[in-house]
Chains A and B, each alone.
Chain A
């Protein structure tokens, strides 16, 4: 729109766009208006279109939710003192002083979706659902903030309602952070709790502008059994990468541009011991459960960012454009995760459900060794951000008897997965995103999963967005799913 367009016409156009998107149809991540309140600044200071962070937002996040070189005056909501600063001099004769956020640091996201889906199974049978009003699809309650100079916290409680009205509530995040504990600022930070590890910085949660996560990396089982489906959705069974971990992580930014993280965690999946047979021939693991054995997953990531804003918000010697989503930069990272799922049983399945031994008991499996290694790259050139991950995995699977005591076979499986996504800012309220992903499972008799995703977002206001999204996933021999989602998401 030309800046000289009269205001009345502008507001009419704005209204028509809202109406068109709403009537047309309706499907959507996270944002913390807590900080908008705390600093009395717009969401757009940190997000190009929430939850996608701009370079400044990324620095704010890595700084433990602090502005670069933050001063007291920047915080417009005065914190509550839990002890005078001077008590530091008296310790340990008194408790160390700290601070609480001035207002309850709570925010809400509401997401409503109108969903159109079309599923075709292997034999060509088709199921179509028109205009499924998933109002609401998801409500998220967030708490996030800082506690004094060196601590931060974040928690998210998500309540989701399924298409059938069934619902579930999950603590998606609950973590404490300890920032800049020693050494140079930003260099050494620790967080613990349940969180999305920085192993995925740049391609999960706060970085994706679309409603759809990167399924090929987080939502499919890449190592199936024999000629089985090899792929189970929704995190049942082994996941390619655990979307969230319960663990302890160390991370930091050195010299403005070098990022590192390593952590130790319990792994998520392959479910809590034994999966259950749902009775209709399919097997359901318990998604999102944590494998409790004696072993810990360990992970590591190293990144370097060339050009643009430093990862800690530093801009010295860099000319940044006023449009705060723009920069010319290239970031590259390597990631690795290694774990051991010994003693965590899951049921061996194929397309027909559990695979039964001669006495009709399902075979059990254990993933006794798994490694995931990947390469991340993100290139930003003005309004365009292209990023992706190439991941390869190697697993050692043991097939055991139903009681888990007898070992029948040991198989090594390797798989690979990748995605590439392009996000483009047409104008600050209008965004486009496209992603292609492919997972080639470990079992060569199982066909690859291909997923494509196209999104148009209208940021109607800094805290309100409409999305029109088309998603297609297909796997030869299994079927095709297509969906068109129209989503409204509001953050307040």
Chain B
């Protein structure tokens, strides 16, 4: 391999990285059992819009639990709520950012849907089983991730640039900070109850 070719290859690689970086790191939720289920997402980017995805997201109600507990979606996404139990379930939200929707009750094997139109951290509840709780966090950008049990996350394919990154968790106060993405970019968040 010639020196020129190698340099070119390196240069190309660097250029590709610069176009498609990521934001990775850790969210620490103080005073909470674990740091899972935090949603990290890039706030609305002025002058940029994203088409709503055609594919529906799915949230299950099984054994009296919402699965997954926390889900992140792009604004415009329709979420299908499936009832996998032999008992009736309900889904409603007390949050105004999703119109306080209430889907009624439906039996096993059937789904009802709601489209999350704008940025929103929606709490989902079931009137039949008051202990049931789930969350859909609607991000205005397709750049979002839900943390694992250790708080780690990776938001892939974020173009280089300067952004506001928001973090939300069911039990902690939301927070945000400016992050400049240049290739693989590390960012850490510390939030508390």
Using CB atoms and an 8 Å cutoff, list the residues of chain A in contact with chain B: 3-4, 39-42, 44-45, 56, 67-71, 73-74, 76, 313, 315-316, 319-324, 462
Contact = CB atoms under 8 A, between A and B. Distances in A.
B112 to A, nearest CB: 11
Contacts of A323: 127
A71 B65 CA distance: 14
B129 A41 contact: yes
Given A40-B64, A44-B130, A313-B87, A322 B105 contact: yes
B107 A69 contact: no
Contacts of B63: 71, 73-74, 76
A228 B26 CA distance: 83
Contact of A68 (B87, B94, B100, B105): B87
Contact of B128 (A3, A4, A69, A324): A324
Name which of B62, B86, B87, B100 has the most chain A CB atoms within 10 A of its CB: B87
Given A41-B131, A74-B63, A322 B102 contact: yes
Interface in B88-109: 88, 90, 92, 94, 96, 100, 102, 104-105, 107
B116 to A, nearest CB: 19
12 contacts: A4-B96, A40-B131, A41-B64, A67-B86, A68-B86, A71-B63, A71-B86, A313-B87, A315-B88, A322-B104, A322-B105, A322-B127
**Which secondary structure dominates where chain A touches chain B?**
loop
Contact of A69 (B86, B104, B129, B130): B86
Interface of B: 62-64, 85-88, 90, 92, 94, 96, 100, 102, 104-105, 107, 126-131
Contacts of A74: 63-64, 85
Given A56-B87, A70-B86, 9 more contacts: A41-B131, A42-B130, A56-B128, A69-B86, A71-B63, A73-B63, A319-B105, A322-B128, A324-B128
Contact of B105 (A40, A67, A73, A321): A321
Contacts of A41: 64, 129, 131
Contacts of B94: 3
Contacts of A320: 88, 105
Contacts of A68: 86-87
B129 A315 contact: no
Nearest to A73: B63
A322 B126 CA distance: 8
A324 B92 CA distance: 14
Given A42-B129, A324-B128, A3 B87 contact: no
Contacts of A315: 88, 107
Contacts of B62: 73
A42 B131 contact: yes
B117 to A, nearest CB: 20
